[in-house]
Structure 1
């Protein structure tokens, strides 16, 4: 049993608030784990994916015997690591005679397993096996394009589920605005059959097209592989509703002195208070004002001088 501890400091409470489920999610982290037995191909696959997601991924190299995602009770260790590292996505690699080069991709909600997709890796090629101009190499942490080619991603349930998981795995943070000049990579997934998908990673090269939008060319930089769907498990309906819950839009506050007309459109009344110009302080004293003050002061001085003379004569 895992001991439940409560935060005793303000810093600890803030960390727990960051890890709590949110209606508007931030960037998701990925947990990469190894099974009891793995092959050289699978180790290379996990390493290459870790390099692609190095800014938001945690990789453990130790073998894990207790993790069996599709079996009852085999998810406890996986959920523990998810809670420990605060990761909502995971990759688990294992190798056996029945399922060679087996890769399990999944998502968690509130650090409980949400759904699972199991694929077999075939025809794998590493980044080092591709030759290309290193100037077009994608930058680490850049926002990618995601392209899904084939009707299977819309009609076949297994491929639809795989598409959702791959989108969450590689798309990074969700943004509203995007600068085309900063987009330098694309993940291309092609449905070859109802159970087989070709996955590749390409760099984007921008060229002149004679218009505002540049012409884009794809340069394959790797890794690339064939993903054969073996097993998948959809989320429970009650858990799905809870995870898909969104916040209601707040009602707009009524605008004062504003009305809408079908012909004139939006009409507003502006009320300006009475301006007391006589009491306003002038920011810059004008020359005329200064001259009037000098003349008044001179006149006032001459009156005082005349009154003094009258007093002395009397």
Structure 2
């Protein structure tokens, strides 16, 4: 018997058809929408952190207000309801907050592949200052603009847990992938430093000041949220799921005959021209040849007239 998620749903309206087409796999995937939700027990600190993440993500996040008792992603079977919500809301990742005596002020970050749980990262909030405490700096940042990222620390290259944390933070805050961007569109920096087993998360607002030249003077002002995050638990993707997620679609272009590419000359083509029969080809008469024939004809006419009158010709 087929599972409920394996059954293909037929749209009953044009709007439903557009929604299903939007959720279909694409060669270039769109930005991941984050699902922000609460666990069974939460604290005011983790609630404020989710609110600040929602402000930074703007329209690329969906925040739910109800508590969820059956969401324990690290336990077997605890991801079922989470995957159901992700499939329903079409979200690519999630941030779940919880609070307990063993793990106080806890944040769980995770990603999905094909609406299945891919990997997990658990962080503990040890220090927090919200965006509301940096209202002057955060007011200059426009929602939807692209951030710069600065990851400081050799752990982001050597430690697999820190590499996973870097990848998740990039997916969470980078926004839409673009080829070109205006200088005014980059108005904040995400600064993340690795210290022991902690992540120091510091967003800064970029301010362009007058410098007397065409290049402005750049200043940074902390905009919040200021977070000290302790790295607790991680769960990497399974080998089979990772192999499936890393597959790339084969894009085969239709081959054009007699056209190739050269590293120096670029696009090179070969043209085939049939043999031209010049002898039998009706060529266009040039004006110069036409004038020459007219002069020859006029001279012959004068010569004939002189012969008829008995006058000596030019040849004589």
TM-score per shorter chain, which class?
A: 0.7 to 0.9
Residue from 97, 105, 108 that aligns with 2:109:
105
Correspondence for 1:149 among 123, 132, 152? 152
How far apart in 2 are the matches of 1:247 and 1:5? 22
Assess if the C-alpha contact under 8 Å between 1:119 and 1:227 holds in 2. yes
CA distance in 1, matches of 2:50, 2:10: 35
Q: Separation in 2 of the partners of 1:259 and 1:224?
A: 52
2:57 corresponds to which residue? 53
Q: Which segment drifts farther, 32-41 or 206-215?
A: 206-215
Structure 1 stretch displaced more, 240-249 or 71-80: 240-249
- Residues 261 and 267 in structure 1, CA contact (< 8 A), matched pair in contact too: no
- Mapped contact 2:258–2:271 kept (Cα < 8 A): no
Distance change in 2, residues 1:5/1:249 (3 Å): closer
Does the residue aligned with 2:225 lie in a helix, a strand or coil? strand
Q: 1:25 aligns with which of 11, 18, 29?
A: 29
* 1:260/1:221 CA distance change after superposition, 3 Å: closer
Native 8 Å contact 2:38 2:64 kept in 1? yes
Matched, 1:168 2:171: yes
Q: How many residues align?
A: 274
- 1:260 is displaced (CA, Å) by 6.0
Structure 2 partner of 1:44? 48
**Inter-CA distance 257–89: structure 2 relative to 1 (3 Å threshold):** closer
Aligned to 1:293: none
Q: What secondary structure is seen at the aligned counterpart in 2 of 1:68? A: coil
Equivalent position of 1:137 in the other structure: 140
Q: 1:115 offset after TM fit, Å? A: 0.4
Residues in 1 aligned to 2:39 and 2:263: alpha-carbon distance in whole angstroms: 67
CA RMSD of aligned residues (A): 3.0
Aligned to 1:63: 67
- Structure 1: segments with no counterpart, 5+ residues: 279-314
**Is the partner of 1:130 in helix, strand or coil?**
helix
Say yes or no: does 1:235 pair with 2:233.
Answer: no
Q: Secondary structure at the match of 1:96?
A: coil
Q: Under a length normalisation based on structure 1, what TM-score does the superposition of the two structures give?
A: 0.78
Q: Deviation of residue 245 (structure 1)?
A: 1.3
* Distance in structure 1 (CA, Å) of the matches to 2:225 and 2:266: 56
Distance 1:238 1:213, change over 3 A: farther
CA displacement, residues 126-157 of structure 1 (integer Å, 9 cap, x when unaligned): 112226457x6200111111111111111111
SS at match of 1:144: strand
Structure 1 CA distance, aligned partners of 2:219 and 2:44?
A: 32
Say if 2:123 and 2:231, in contact at 8 Å, map to a contact too.
yes
Structure-2 separation of matches of 1:260 and 1:37: 63
Cα distance in 2 between the residues matched to 1:228 and 1:175 = 32
Structure 1 residues 191, 261: CA separation in 2 closer, same or farther (over 3 Å shift)? closer
The structure with more radius of gyration = 2
**Residue 119, structure 1, aligned to residue 123, structure 2:** yes
1:205 to 1:98, Cα distance in 2 relative to 1, 3 A: same
Hey, what's the Cα distance between the residues in 2 that align with 1:139 and 1:160? 29
**Residues 97 and 250 of structure 1: is their aligned pair in 2 closer, same or farther, counting only changes over 3 Å?**
same
Separation (CA, whole Å) in 1 of partners of 2:229 and 2:28: 31
Matches within 5 A, 1:1-314: 6-9=9-12, 11=14, 12-130=16-134, 132=136, 137-193=140-196, 195-208=197-210, 213-251=215-253, 253-254=255-256, 256=258
* Displacement of 1:238: 1.3
Q: Higher mean Cα deviation, 122-131 or 41-50?
A: 122-131
Confirm or deny: 8 A CA contact 1:20 1:110 kept in the other structure.
Answer: no
Relative to structure 2, which stretch is displaced further, 42-51 or 22-31? 22-31
Q: Structure 1 269/126 Cα, relative in aligned 2: closer, same or farther at 3 Å? A: same
Q: Deviations over 1:47-106 (max 9, x none)?
A: 111111121111111110001000001000100110111101100000000000000001
